[in-house]
Amino acid sequence: MPAPHRPVDSRPSLPAMEESVLERWRERDVFRASVTRREGSPPFVFYEGPPTANGRPGSHHVLSRAFKDIFPRYKTMQGFAVERKGGWDCHGLPVEIEVEKQLGITSKDDIERYGIAEFNARCRESVFTFLEEWDRLTERIGFWIDLEDAYRTLDSEYIESVWWALRQIWDKDLLYEGHKVVPYCPRCGTALSSHEVALGYRDVVDQSVYVRFPVVSAVGPISNGDSLLIWTTTPWTLVSNAAVAINPELTYARVEIKGDDGDEIVIVAEALVERVVGEGARILDRFLGSAIEDTKYDPPFSFIAGEEYGDRGHTVLAGDFVTAEDGSGLVHTAVAFGEDDYRLGAQYGLAVINPVKLDGTYDERIGEYAGRFVKDVDEDLVKALRDSGRLWRAQDYEHAYPHCWRCSTPLLYYAKPSWYIATTKIRDQLMAANETVNWHPEHIKHGRFGKWLEGNVDWALSRERYWGTPLPVWRSEAGEVMCIGSFAELEELSGVAVTDPHRPYVDDITFAHPQSGNEMRRVPEVIDVWFDSGAMPFAQYHAPFENQDVFERRFPADFICEALDQTRGWFYSLLAVSTLVQGESSYKNVVCLGLIVDEAGQKMSKTKGNVVAPWEVIDQHGADAFRWYYFTSKQPWDGYRFSVDAVGEGVRQFLLQLWNTYAFYVLYANAGEVVPGPVEQQPADDLDRWIISRLNATTEVVAERLDAYDATFAGRAIAELVDDLSNWYVRRSRRRFWDGDLVAFATLRHCLVTITQLLAPFCPFITDEIYDNLDGSEASVHLCDFPTVGVRDEVLEVEMAIARETVRLGLKARGQAKVKVRQPLGEAVIVAVGKEREAIERMADIVREELNVKALRFVSGADELGSLEIKPNYRSLGPRFGNQMPAVAAAVAALDTAQVGAALREGREIGITIDGQDHTIGSDDLLVAMAPLEGYEVEREGSHAVALDLTLDADLRCEGQAREIVHAVQSARKNAGLAVEDRITLGLAGDGGLLDAARTHEAYVSGETLATAISFDDDQGTVGVVESTTIDGAQLRITITAVAPA
RNA sequence: GGGCGAUUAGCUCAGUUGGUUAGAGCGCGUCUCUGAUAAGGACGAGGUCCCAGGUUCGAAUCCUGGAUCGCCCA
């Protein structure tokens, strides 16, 4: 009869095993089968947040892909149809930057000289540079997703769906062109959206300056010649100072300062006098800001005349945004360079004068500084202010300043025309949609994400770039504007079929306005890539042009998962687009993942050289280990301190433990040619019933936790089960396995197979390998249904826990007494009452064997081993007595322990008197512990204790020696390289006492060591492996000869 | 400056609705067990639960303030 199972190496190469499983998946087309077999079942919808493939995948990508995989696998096993369409984010500045690097060019002029068509062709290629590596990694880590049918944001169909969405937004009058101050990257030549700005803050030291603005036409209680003191951290904006803003409600002070060069008078906010002017200042007058409105002053630079700004140029204006928190309480206003500035300018009709060109340099109006990058001019301007006597003070100012997230150029705030989506008008809907989402962790919902929505600003949609979805807006010189919602519509208007909707081809498509006949040309902008990805729920299916039914079936998503940094990225764009277009959230459950840092807590970066490449981990430990680490080492949202070794720990502690339990089963099943039947529901043996109950308990927990998107506690519950299985069930049941006990085999096999099903979503490789070898009734464990919860015996679970605790106490007592477990002892004396005693009595065989004692003797009180200690149970008494607890504790301490012990044993209640009131307390209200007793080998814990009778008689000593001999022979067998089932003949020689012991227990020795015969002659005539050893100082010579199998 | 989160043993992390002796794994030391297991078990060393106040009979846990770190926003 052939062996029932493939033999299993007890020291496996997990990565090699995984490769063979991958091969089997390919052969059997398991992923596809797992999806198609659920066709027609209720769907569970997952949306893939598309990565950009123009960089190598890192370990953080493995993190998100592991979590993106586990829940769809779980739901599939639960019977849901879980289609998983892959996706790629293809557009955007990162791609352009990469191509610019390849081409060695650095500006938009360069790109246009190079040619937009050719440039975009390069971008298209670049996007998929590392696609092969992405695909290879995706497959290797067992991330099941349909890569062949992945959506790509660059496809014409995808773009058309995006156009459709924009047209919906246009029709709702929520798409507009605004003239706004935007964060602008002068190098990339484009405005950045707020979520892009969020990516690039870094701490920098800038010059901050206090500057005198002399009053030339005073209003209110100030005089000509006084100086308005203003503060700014951007000296380069002073050249286009248009006005000074004050808060009309704030109190200002007119301050006299004695100086070496004479006295002077300055105006600052009263609250800031000390900070700005310092000591020695004399406040001459106090007044509200409104009192000095309209005051005219002399600007710091005269490149641009005051009249150019309009009537209110170079005057003091009221602005409610001004505070006394920093600076001077008087705010320099440069209309083109700040959001508040711009709004103030609009309010007072100031002209927008922007002397800074799109490349970030001054134009010819700024005289000697023309042509220089503005940030580089800061220092020269400060010097000029000092020379002209305008500078009050200059100091370094460290603050976080936004930089371009791709090219690191400091951003400028800059008034530019730009296209917006009026998300502020649907803020309430966005917040309502957010309420329908389950966030993991919970605090994101009303914390980070909720707060972000509360502070929502209009979505700056347009980018003056090349490689992106073109903004489908056409307009005439007369100002007529149309938003095109489909290729068909454009073709109908223009007569030109859209072949490639990208620039520059789409730019060439023009048409006559249907009414006026004016020529309509497309605006030059492309759109924010985040809109692309936010449109994926419908755009991935080319809905509504095709597959509208598919889209509707798969909207919204049940589950999405990305890293925390997507709060303002994809999480926002998905919610915003679907709220704009569909009026609701496009996802129901989100798992947010934290950042990965190295062992030292440092962010991983290429420049620091501390990046752990995913392949390194996979080659060393395998994909299951990688995934297991992410799932169970901690809750995923707080980030990981990650290293290759950290993954290895999980291999040793969990995967190898599971594997070796499996290897153990196969070893003995094959050795005994055992093919167990189905597991019994209620086996007779307590251990069998216990492990099955534990299995069912774990199944319940795992399903409950996975339903709550909590892989961590689900995984840890499985690890506990595997530990119980390996270190208690198998350990306690070994003899039954080598005796060929079919019930034990059936139980262990059932546990292992069920564990593979519970664990399959976590560790898809090792589980499939084990399943395939032990069961294999499906082509893969991933085609199985998730296990259902069977019968539990919670009483038995508790009893086993008590028995294990008792064993622990007994072993501890042995350790204290320095008596080896191999030496049998006569008696263990156990103190336990009530349920504990019942539990230990029921488990007496286990306790006796584990402790290697001949008998257990129970004593029900403390009489022999110590006295009782009674303590109040605060947990139950606290809520009842509240602030009387100190009195209760005192009353309990005053009780007679012997009487209380007797009362509790008989189930009676105890009376106590608190503040003259009588109360009764029961056994649950008291904690009974054993008090220590000097001079006895007793170990106690809580209310039970174990003591050992250490007296050894000749029989016990003899049996101990026999066990020593068995142990020595087993070591020799192992050293000789024998298989566990090999039979031997055994020769023993040496110390007479030892030989006597072996003779006395000959049947035991030969049975344990599989010896067909034992000879006690010295090694004459035997041929075999000889080993010498000493037992308690006595010599023993062992000769082993393998017996040829019959 | 504001928001969110974090801070528990040398390291990585748990810690239930507040309950009086704060746990686990790794690492270290001493023992021990072994017909699966580079495994397991027992014991030991190792903690001002970031700090300071407060609430409470009782705080790692709740509140306030502060420190440090991370992310985000100005």
Task: Please pick, among A50, A51, A410, A472, the residue that the annotation labels catalytic.
Answer: A50
Question: Which residues 45-84 on A are within 7 A of strand B at the CB atom?
Answer: none
Rounded to 5 degrees, φ, ψ at A874 are -60, -30
Nucleotide nearest to A888 (CA to C1'): B57
Q: Considering only CA atoms, which residue is closest to the C1' of nucleotide B14?
A: A634
Gap from A548 CA to B3 C1', Å:
40
A530 given a catalytic annotation: yes
Give the lowest-confidence range in A212-226, A406-420, A505-519.
Answer: A406-420
Is the shortest CB-to-strand distance from A663 to strand B under 7 Å?
Answer: yes
Is the shortest CB-to-strand distance from A265 to strand B under 7 Å?
Answer: no
Q: Euclidean distance between the first and final Cα of chain A, in Å?
A: 15
Gap from A650 CA to B63 C1', Å:
40
Is the shortest CB-to-strand distance from A1009 to strand B under 7 Å?
Answer: yes
Is the shortest CB-to-strand distance from A1006 to strand B under 7 Å?
Answer: no
Q: Which of A1-15, A122-136, A277-291, A1010-1024 has the highest mean pLDDT?
A: A122-136
Q: Are A461 and A169 in contact (CB under 8 A)?
A: no
Question: Which residues 911-950 on A are within 7 A of strand B at the CB atom?
Answer: 929
Nucleotide nearest to A656 (CA to C1'): B37
- Please tell me the predicted confidence (pLDDT) of residue A481: 94
**Beta partners for residue A1026, in sequence order:** A1039
Alpha helices in A924-1036 (DSSP H): 954-975, 992-1000, 1002-1009
The secondary structure element, H or E, covering residue A155 is none
Q: Rounded CA gap, A509 and A965, in Å?
A: 94
Residue A13 has pLDDT above 70, yes or no: yes
Nucleotide nearest to A971 (CA to C1'): B34
pLDDT tier at A143, thresholds 50, 70, 90: very high
Nucleotide nearest to A443 (CA to C1'): B4
Give the lowest-confidence range in A347-361, A699-713, A1029-1043.
Answer: A1029-1043
- Please tell me the predicted confidence (pLDDT) of residue A503: 92
Percent of chain A residues topping a pLDDT of 70: 92
Q: Which residue has the tokens 């791709």?
A: A406
Task: Please pick, among A603, A608, A835, A871, the residue that the annotation labels catalytic.
Answer: A603
Q: Are A828 and A809 in contact (CB under 8 A)?
A: no
Gap from A622 CA to B52 C1', Å:
48
Gap from A944 CA to B30 C1', Å:
27
Question: Which residues 571-610 on A are within 7 A of strand B at the CB atom?
Answer: 595, 599, 601, 603
Q: Considering only CA atoms, which residue is closest to the C1' of nucleotide B2?
A: A451
Q: Rounded CA gap, A22 and A20, in Å?
A: 5
Residue A941 has pLDDT above 60, yes or no: no
Residue A687 has pLDDT above 70, yes or no: yes
Residue A80 has pLDDT above 90, yes or no: yes
Is the shortest CB-to-strand distance from A874 to strand B under 7 Å?
Answer: yes
Rounded to 5 degrees, φ, ψ at A868 are -85, 155
Q: Rounded CA gap, A1024 and A1005, in Å?
A: 18
Nucleotide nearest to A455 (CA to C1'): B73
Task: Please pick, among A134, A570, A659, A728, the residue that the annotation labels catalytic.
Answer: A570
Task: Please pick, among A144, A419, A530, A690, the residue that the annotation labels catalytic.
Answer: A530
pTM of the model: 0.83
Q: Rounded CA gap, A844 and A837, in Å?
A: 10
What's chain A's length in residues?
A: 1046
Give the lowest-confidence range in A65-69, A233-237, A542-546.
Answer: A233-237
Give the lowest-confidence range in A32-36, A525-529, A1028-1032.
Answer: A1028-1032
Percent of chain A residues topping a pLDDT of 90: 36
Is the shortest CB-to-strand distance from A777 to strand B under 7 Å?
Answer: no
Give the DSSP per-residue string, A43-67. B--B-PPPPP-SS---HHHHHHHHH
Gap from A603 CA to B69 C1', Å:
12
Nucleotide nearest to A878 (CA to C1'): B19
Gap from A252 CA to B68 C1', Å:
38
Tokens of A592: 């947010």
- Please tell me the predicted confidence (pLDDT) of residue A934: 43
- Complex ipTM value: 0.91
Q: Are A480 and A545 in contact (CB under 8 A)?
A: no
The whole-angstrom distance between residue A922's C-alpha and the CA centroid of its chain comes to 47
pLDDT tens profile A166-207: 999 999 999 998 777 778 888 877 777 665 676 667 767 777
Nucleotide nearest to A885 (CA to C1'): B57
The whole-angstrom distance between residue A157's C-alpha and the CA centroid of its chain comes to 34
Q: Are A459 and A182 in contact (CB under 8 A)?
A: no
Is the shortest CB-to-strand distance from A660 to strand B under 7 Å?
Answer: yes
Q: Which residue has the tokens 């300055």?
A: A266
Residue A879 has pLDDT above 50, yes or no: yes
Nucleotide nearest to A737 (CA to C1'): B35
- Please tell me the predicted confidence (pLDDT) of residue A606: 60
Q: Rounded CA gap, A365 and A853, in Å?
A: 101
Q: Which residue has the tokens 């000591």?
A: A279
Is the shortest CB-to-strand distance from A804 to strand B under 7 Å?
Answer: no
**Higher-scoring residue by pLDDT: A1043, A942:** A1043
Gap from A652 CA to B38 C1', Å:
8
Q: Rounded CA gap, A544 and A433, in Å?
A: 22
Residue A861 has pLDDT above 60, yes or no: no
Q: Are A756 and A661 in contact (CB under 8 A)?
A: no
Mean pLDDT, range A23-42, rounded to an integer: 95
A588 given a catalytic annotation: no
- Please tell me the predicted confidence (pLDDT) of residue A935: 42
Mean pLDDT, range A294-306, rounded to an integer: 89
Give the lowest-confidence range in A20-34, A124-138, A280-294.
Answer: A280-294
Gap from A636 CA to B8 C1', Å:
19
Mean pLDDT, range A127-142, rounded to an integer: 92
Gap from A460 CA to B70 C1', Å:
28
Gap from A852 CA to B20 C1', Å:
38
A570 given a catalytic annotation: yes
Is the shortest CB-to-strand distance from A815 to strand B under 7 Å?
Answer: yes
Residue A157 has pLDDT above 70, yes or no: yes
Is the shortest CB-to-strand distance from A720 to strand B under 7 Å?
Answer: no
Is the shortest CB-to-strand distance from A358 to strand B under 7 Å?
Answer: no
- Kindly give, in sequence order, each residue whose CB lies less than 8 Å from that of residue A1022, ignoring residues fewer than 6 positions away: A985, A987, A1015, A1039, A1041
A416 given a catalytic annotation: no
Mean pLDDT, range A708-724, rounded to an integer: 91
Is the shortest CB-to-strand distance from A197 to strand B under 7 Å?
Answer: yes
Mean pLDDT, range A125-145, rounded to an integer: 92
Q: Taking all residues of chain A, what is their mean pLDDT, rounded to a whole number?
A: 85
- Position A84: which residue type? R
Task: Identify the three-state secondary structure at position A676.
Answer: coil
Task: Please pick, among A2, A173, A395, A606, the residue that the annotation labels catalytic.
Answer: A606
The whole-angstrom distance between residue A963's C-alpha and the CA centroid of its chain comes to 52
Mean pLDDT, range A82-96, rounded to an integer: 91
Q: Rounded CA gap, A869 and A893, in Å?
A: 9
- Please tell me the predicted confidence (pLDDT) of residue A431: 92
**Beta partners for residue A856, in sequence order:** A828
Is the shortest CB-to-strand distance from A206 to strand B under 7 Å?
Answer: no
Gap from A448 CA to B65 C1', Å:
23
Nucleotides on chain B within 7 angstroms of protein Cβ:
1, 3-6, 11-14, 17, 19-21, 25-26, 31-43, 56-58, 69-74
The pairs formed by A682-686 with CB atoms below 8 angstroms and a separation of 24 or more are: A682/A791, A683/A743, A683/A747, A684/A743, A685/A743, A685/A744, A686/A796, A686/A800, A686/A842, A686/A843
pLDDT tier at A936, thresholds 50, 70, 90: very low
- Please tell me the predicted confidence (pLDDT) of residue A248: 82
A50 given a catalytic annotation: yes
Quote the DSSP letter at residue A636.
Answer: G
Q: Cβ–Cβ contacts within 10 Å for residue A1042, how many?
A: 16
A75 given a catalytic annotation: no
Is the shortest CB-to-strand distance from A735 to strand B under 7 Å?
Answer: no
Mean pLDDT, range A11-28, rounded to an integer: 92
A451 given a catalytic annotation: no
Nucleotide nearest to A340 (CA to C1'): B74
- Please tell me the predicted confidence (pLDDT) of residue A506: 95
Alpha helices in A178-314 (DSSP H): 194-197, 273-277
pLDDT tens profile A733-779: 888 888 888 899 999 999 999 999 999 999 999 999 999 999 999 99
- Please tell me the predicted confidence (pLDDT) of residue A600: 64
The closest of A845, A937, A934, A860 to A904, measured between CA atoms, is A860
Gap from A820 CA to B33 C1', Å:
9
- Please tell me the predicted confidence (pLDDT) of residue A938: 56
Task: Please pick, among A68, A78, A89, A659, the residue that the annotation labels catalytic.
Answer: A89
Q: Could you give the count of Cα atoms lying within 13 Å of A438 in the half-sphere of its Cβ?
A: 10
- Please tell me the predicted confidence (pLDDT) of residue A970: 80
Is the shortest CB-to-strand distance from A898 to strand B under 7 Å?
Answer: no
Nucleotide nearest to A1008 (CA to C1'): B35
Mean pLDDT, range A641-664, rounded to an integer: 86
Mean pLDDT, range A527-531, rounded to an integer: 92
Give the lowest-confidence range in A100-114, A298-312, A819-833.
Answer: A819-833
Mean pLDDT, range A64-72, rounded to an integer: 95
Nucleotide nearest to A723 (CA to C1'): B40
Exposed (0-12), middle (13-18) or buried (19+): which is A637, by Cβ within 10 Å? middle
Is the shortest CB-to-strand distance from A738 to strand B under 7 Å?
Answer: yes
